[in-house]
């Protein structure tokens, strides 16, 4: 069902709610239609994933809201968005943290780096950048991060990402068919919470 932008926001509000005013504003201001391929414009407000090419998708809005709500982006934070794809999550996060924060989107497919950048350019979000993925998972050059969001499924928790989190930082990622919220309590202790029942493209 394609509800239109207002209908999608109302649907998300009634089924999940918005954890903060910043998240509500982000979903209001950032139009999903600006981040889908032209042949899917008519489906832009449906609550389902859509192909963006190269075996990748723009995620289902309900899943994005769920994961971003778990991440709980706050104004001024520095956030890493792994698997930025079409740039939608990068734009949502950048809007939620405001112009005093920073968001770095990382994407492994070169054509999607360009697609994401062109979509991001439709908005004035100087605090957001999309960059090609390097040899090492994450973006160690800009670590540590307050928060890290991963939008592709890993087989296990990538230890390299934990090392890029600040103490007190949070990582939200899919492992197999569950979304996990990982809080870095100290250098030797993490708290984990699992939310099963999801499907994602694999992390590469």
pLDDT tens digits, residue range 90-129?
999 999 999 999 999 999 999 999 999 999 999 999 999 9
Number of domains in the chain: 1
Catalytic residues: 59
Q: Is residue 49 part of a domain?
A: yes
Q: Is residue 203 part of a domain?
A: no
Give strand pairing partners of 182: 171, 192
Contact 60, 172 (CB under 8 A): no
pLDDT tens digits, residue range 64-83?
999 999 999 999 999 999 99
pLDDT at 60: 94
The SS3 assignment for 112 reads helix
Q: Which CATH number do you get for residue 112? A: 3.40.50.150
Q: Is residue 201 part of a domain?
A: no
Q: Is residue 65 part of a domain?
A: yes
Question: Is the pLDDT score of 168 beyond 80?
Answer: yes
181: Cβ contacts below 8 Å, ≥ 6 apart: 70, 170, 171, 172, 192, 193, 195
């Amino acid at each position: 069902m394609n509800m239109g932008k207002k209908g999608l926001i109302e649907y998300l509000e009634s089924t999940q709610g918005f954890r903060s005013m910043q998240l509500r504003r982000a979903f209001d201001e950032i139009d999903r239609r600006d981040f889908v391929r032209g042949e899917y414009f008519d489906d832009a407000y449906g609550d389902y994933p859509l192909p963006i090419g190269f075996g990748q998708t723009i995620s289902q809005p309900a899943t994005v809201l769920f994961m971003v709500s778990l991440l709980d982006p706050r104004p001024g934070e520095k956030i890493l968005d792994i698997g930025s794809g079409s740039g939608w999550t990068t734009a949502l996060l950048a809007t939620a943290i405001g112009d005093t924060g920073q968001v770095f989107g990382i994407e492994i497919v070169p054509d999607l780096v360009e697609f994401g950048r062109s979509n991001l350019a439709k908005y004035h979000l100087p605090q957001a950048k999309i960059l090609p993925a390097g040899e090492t998972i994450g973006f160690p050059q800009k670590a540590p991060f307050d928060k890290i969001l991963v939008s592709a499924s890993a087989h296990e928790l990538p230890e390299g990402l934990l090392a890029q989190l600040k103490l007190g930082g949070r990582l939200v990622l899919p492992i197999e068919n569950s979304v996990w919220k990982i809080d870095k309590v100290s250098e030797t202790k993490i708290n984990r919470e699992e939310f099963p029942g999801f499907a994602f493209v694999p992390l590469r």
